[in-house]
Amino acid sequence: MENIAVIVILVSLGYFFGRMAENKHYQSIREREQAFLSLPTTSTKKPMGNIDHISHVQLVHGNVVISVDYFKRFLATLRNIFGGPIQAYETLLDRARREAVLRLKESCPDANQIINLRLETSSISKGDSERIGSVEVLAYGTAIYHQDSNAQAPIL
């Protein structure tokens, strides 16, 4: 009886606090994505526009680690029994990807464009059932600065 009570409390706490944190995070992601809308970010290998005007390029990256809450983990374990898409983890990964890209953009606010954007995902807990799972997403790419840009060239 006590065991069930503990699990119910943990699941409820995980749900309410997890959902609160998620909504807040999505709100912040939407606002920041809007603010950085004018910075073109692509996965192309060549810069867009006239390459003669480039003053310098820079490797930029942004990474984030997000933990799964108790409710999501419980739901994912249940889903493992029956199979199918683990919807509980979809928002977790979506937030992590978008946050990593945003951090990458925030690291080079004066860049004119970012090319060759790549994303890498890794699991921190490596499937260890004893630990709460968390995911790391690393976004990296090349920031391009035009000659008429106000940005200072990095000292190499």
Partner 1 sequence: MKYQPSLPEHNDNVSHHHPVREFVILIFGVVGLVVISFLILGLFVDQAVNYISPEDEAQLFAKVDLSGAFGDEESSTTQELLQQLIDSLGRCHNILFPLTVHLIKSEDINALALPGGDIVIFSALLKQLPSINGLTFVLAHELGHFKNRDHLRSMGRGLVLAALITYFAGANSDVSQMLASSMTLGQTKYSQSRESKADETALDILNCYYGHVGGATDLFETLQQEEEGSGSELFHYFDSHPEIQKRIEMIHALSKKQGYQVGETQPLNDHFAIQDTL
Q: How far is the CB of 156 from partner 1 (least distance, A)?
A: 29
Task: Give 129 or 156: the residue with its C-beta nearer to partner 1.
Answer: 129
Assigned token pair, 13: 């706490």
Pick the closest to residue 95 from 32, 36, 22 (CA basis). 22
Q: What order of strands is seen across the sheet that includes strand 113-123?
A: 54-67, 134-146, 113-123
Assigned token pair, 126: 């490596």
Stretch that binds partner 1, among 58-66, 70-78, 103-111, 115-123 (CB under 8 A): 70-78
- In one-letter notation, the amino acid at residue 16 is F
Task: Give 35 or 153: the residue with its C-beta nearer to partner 1.
Answer: 35
Per-residue interface string for the shown chain with partner 1, residues 38-67, x marking contact by CB under 8 A: x-x-------x-------------------
Q: How far is the CB of 155 from partner 1 (least distance, A)?
A: 30
Return the biggest CA–CA distance within the chain: 72
Residue 7 sits in the site that holds partner 1 (CB under 8 A): yes
Which one of 46, 52, 129, 150 is in contact with partner 1 (CB under 8 A)? 129
Assigned token pair, 143: 């920031």
Residue 127 sits in the site that holds partner 1 (CB under 8 A): no
Rounded distance, CA 28 to CA 31, Å? 5
Query: 50 exposed, middle or buried (CB, 10 Å; 0-12, 13-18, 19+)?
Result: exposed
Site residues (CB under 8 A) for partner 1?
Answer: 1-4, 7, 10, 15, 30, 33-34, 37-38, 40, 48, 70-75, 77-79, 81-82, 85, 87-88, 90-91, 93-94, 129-130
